[in-house]
Amino acid sequence: MATLAQAIRLALHVGETRLGVTDVFGEDVGPPLGGVFTCTQGLATAWNTPLDERGIVGTAFGLALAGERPVAEIQFCDYIYNTIDLLKLAGNCCWSSMGQFPVPMVLMSPVGSGIHGSIYHSHSFDAIATHIPGWKVVLPSTPLDTYGLMIAAIKDPNPVMFLYPKALIRHQGTEKIPGEPDDPKVLSRMIDAPVGSSREHWRPSWPDLPDFEIPIGSAKCCRPGEHLTVLTYGRTVPLCEQAAQKLFEQEGISAEVIDLRTLFPYDGEMILASTRKTGRLLVVNEDTEVTNFGEHLIRVLTEHCFYHLQAPPRLLAGANTPGVGLSWNLERVSVPQLDAIHAAMREVAMTEA
């Protein structure tokens, strides 16, 4: 099965061959590297920019104004902060021009902790991204979702922030991308650049990829359950699934785990129905906890499900520290890990009604 990095590449290949993408660009995105996480390796339209995030966002914005469908990358979301006014402009452009100038750009960036990235390779961006009206924001956790959502993001006539969890970039999926070879080794030989040797003459050989996409705005129920609802996205999705499994095996508590996949506009129907069904809600993410996107979800769900709730909704998020420290002892306690997630689920499930 493809990894998340390969899934991005495959989707961008579909983008540049079938969906009108003319430019995939960012720092070290073009040859020879193809992105610091190899997400853009072998693409025909990938190119290296100056080391200038404002130029990257601005140029993508300008290309979109000229009717093109650019995909730009910010190498790490930790370095997106100096572009926020441009992100705001891209988000308000269609609105402020009364629909004259939609901005069909995709801005992708890896987010979150999990690679011992210390203070500047561990940031989350979900609270700030969702705080910029006019953008759609996706954050998939599996290769198949990554692939399908990237295709939807490229097709969307609006600016789409495509965040992806760097902790999971090399994880292989359990679901096959339509058209990918059965054997992951075969896929690797086809589309991974040779390591070490010169890549000057290397060209990928792309599999035939049939049309496929995952609509923006649809969440995924990864694990149905009865006793509590767990809303999560990104790095913490597989952790929540594992915790739910353990909780079920050890104590018979059944947690419904929902991967939000799209943070804006999010799948209100699914999360509302689940919360009403279970009456208990835990939101898990790793952004700092103050003014956290999970707080918004809890507010809206409390307003809409108040009389169904049997316990106070809870947010398990990152500690409100200025950064994630390098030492594992520091990182471990700064952002949610398996044990903490398991404990939080248990607590929400056990709270007396």
Partner 1 sequence: MSDVHGSAQVQARRSAQMDVRQVYRLMAKARALEERMIRMTRSNDGYFWIGGPGEEAFNVPLGLLIKRGQGPAFDYLHHHYRSSAILVAMGLPLIDAIRQMAQRATDPNSGGRNFVNHFAKREWNVVPGASTIETQYSIAPGTALAQARHGGNGITIVNGGDAGSSEGDFATCLNWSSRPGRELPMLILIMNNNWGISTPFESVHGDRIIARRAEAFGIRWGTVNGNDPVASWRKLVEVMAYVRKERKPYCLEAYVSRLHGHSSSSGAGRVQEPDCLEMFGRDLVEREILTAAEIESIQAEYEREAMDALLQARQEPEPDGDTIYDHTFAGGTPGWPPLHKPFV
Shortest distance (Å) from residue 133 CB to partner 1: 6
User: What is the C-alpha to C-alpha distance for residues 4 and 139, in angstroms, rounded to an integer?
Assistant: 12
Nearer Cβ to partner 1 (57/111): 57
Candidate residues 32, 116, 120, 133; the one interacting with partner 1 per rule CB under 8 A: 133
Query: How many C-beta atoms lie closer than 10 Å to residue 108's C-beta?
Result: 26
Nearer Cβ to partner 1 (282/297): 297
Instruction: Return the H-helix or E-strand segment holding 79.
Output: none
Q: Is 184 in the site for partner 1 (CB under 8 A)?
A: no
User: What is the C-alpha to C-alpha distance for residues 48 and 204, in angstroms, rounded to an integer?
Assistant: 18
Shortest distance (Å) from residue 202 CB to partner 1: 23
Question: For 57, phi and psi rounded to 5 degrees?
Answer: -65, -45
Candidate residues 18, 20, 32, 67; the one interacting with partner 1 per rule CB under 8 A: 67
Total residues at interface with partner 1 (CB under 8 A): 50
Q: Is 50 in the site for partner 1 (CB under 8 A)?
A: yes
Candidate residues 20, 97, 215, 339; the one interacting with partner 1 per rule CB under 8 A: 97
Shortest distance (Å) from residue 334 CB to partner 1: 29
Instruction: Kindly write down the DSSP assignment for every residue of 240-281, as one continuous string.
Output: HHHHHHHHHHHH---EEEEE--EEET--HHHHHHHHHHH--E
Shortest distance (Å) from residue 266 CB to partner 1: 6
Of 234, 223, 222, whose CA–CA distance to 294 is shortest?
A: 234
Nearer Cβ to partner 1 (48/242): 48
Nearer Cβ to partner 1 (82/250): 82
Q: Is 35 in the site for partner 1 (CB under 8 A)?
A: no
Q: Is 58 in the site for partner 1 (CB under 8 A)?
A: yes
Q: Is 158 in the site for partner 1 (CB under 8 A)?
A: yes
Cis amide bond preceding 32, omega within 30: yes
Strands 46-48 and 262-264: unpaired
Q: Is 94 in the site for partner 1 (CB under 8 A)?
A: yes
Give per-residue burial for 85-105: e unless 16+ CB within 10 Å, then b.
ebbebbbebbeeeeeeebbbb
Instruction: Kindly write down the DSSP assignment for every residue of 112-181, as one continuous string.
Output: SSSS--GGGS----HHHHTTSTT-EEE---SHHHHHHHHHHHHH-SS-EEEEEEGGGTTPBPSSPPTT--
User: What is the C-alpha to C-alpha distance for residues 238 and 42, in angstroms, rounded to an integer?
Assistant: 29
Candidate residues 15, 35, 42, 70; the one interacting with partner 1 per rule CB under 8 A: 70
Q: Is 81 in the site for partner 1 (CB under 8 A)?
A: no
Candidate residues 121, 136, 227, 280; the one interacting with partner 1 per rule CB under 8 A: 136
Active site residue 304: no
Candidate residues 8, 39, 60, 305; the one interacting with partner 1 per rule CB under 8 A: 60
Nearer Cβ to partner 1 (45/113): 45
Q: Is 266 in the site for partner 1 (CB under 8 A)?
A: yes
DSSP structural state of residue 225: -
Catalytic residues: 121
